[in-house]
Amino acid sequence: MGKEKKRVAMRVHGKVHGVFFRVSTVEKAEELGLTGFVQNERDGTVYMEAEGAPEALQKLEQWAHEGPKRARVEKVEVEEKEELNGFGKFEQRR
């Protein structure tokens, strides 16, 4: 397994506010050794950026399609970013 890191942005649509989505995302990202952030958006989506091993990012994306127990995910948009940001940890924002 190489040292290659990637950065992705994900926007999760559905019933994702008020269901502990951000807290659960932080837990999952830390478990996978990823850095970045997750935040609620005014349009009702959850937005996250994550950096780390491609395999770990893929696992986070798979998890995001389900989310925590009370979430009802309708769609996950994923965009690979060109450059790494160098996040120090994975954190919850607003």
Indicate if 94 belongs to the active site. no
What whole-number distance in Å separates Cα of residue 82 and Cα of residue 22?
A: 24
Selecting among 7, 40, 42, 72, the annotated active-site residue is: 40
Selecting among 7, 11, 22, 42, the annotated active-site residue is: 22
Q: What is the largest CA-CA distance in the chain?
A: 39
Indicate if 93 belongs to the active site. no
2 Cβ partners below 8 Å, 6+ apart?
none
Active site residue ranges: 22, 40
